[in-house]
Amino acid sequence: MNDDLSWMLDSALEIPGALHAVLISADGLLMARTQDFGKDDADRVAAAMSGVQSLSRSLAFFCEDAGQRWRQTLVEFDGGWVFLISAGEGAYLGVSASPDVDMQDITFRMQQLVGQLGKALTTPPRENLGVRS
């Protein structure tokens, strides 16, 4: 797990009511998780969120235009919310929250995170320039 990405995800939990956050690939693989969330549970969430995103994207025609781009899925439970948004090419950010979370604050923070994550995910790895072949 990438510690830099996990640290970024942890900032989502600064919003009162935010519980956990995960970064997943489009094929359902866990890329990063908040430090307080167990890996096994995060793997299960990653797989499920990939399916949720796929199902959500298939409903674009219901808004009269099948070509519309998917932006967000929101799921409400008795005990809270699950937010899922695009985090760049082939990645999604998911956050769970308690029922009393300020929805505007959490979605704003998620959008901020997507900007930060996009930069982190597209930055090429550093090479050891001191080693010559």
Give how many domains the chain has, as a whole number: 1
Q: Is the pLDDT of residue 9 over 80?
A: yes
Give the confidence band of 14 by pLDDT, cuts at 50, 70, 90: very high
**Domain-embedded: residue 100:** yes
| Domain extent at residue 66 | 1-120
Question: Which among 39, 33, 51, 41 is positioned nearest to 94, based on CA atoms?
Answer: 33
Please give the pLDDT value at position 17.
Answer: 97
**Domain-embedded: residue 125:** no
**Domain-embedded: residue 128:** no
**Domain-embedded: residue 51:** yes
Please give the pLDDT value at position 130.
Answer: 54
Q: Is the pLDDT of residue 133 over 90?
A: no
**Domain-embedded: residue 63:** yes
Q: Does the predicted TM-score (pTM) go above 0.75?
A: yes
**Domain-embedded: residue 28:** yes
Span 51-63, average pLDDT = 90
CATH number at residue 91: 3.30.450.30
How does DSSP assign 119-133, residue by residue? HHHHSPPP--TT---
Please give the pLDDT value at position 131.
Answer: 54
Residue keyed to tokens 């929250």? 97
Token duo for residue 124? 């090429």
Q: Is the pLDDT of residue 121 over 80?
A: no
Contacts of 11 (CB under 8 A, 6+ apart): 109, 113
**Domain-embedded: residue 64:** yes
Instruction: Assess contact for 5 and 119: CB atoms under 8 A.
Output: no
Residue 56's identity, in one-letter code, is S
Per residue in 16-54, pLDDT tens? 999 999 999 989 999 999 999 999 999 999 999 999 999
Give the confidence band of 126 by pLDDT, cuts at 50, 70, 90: very low
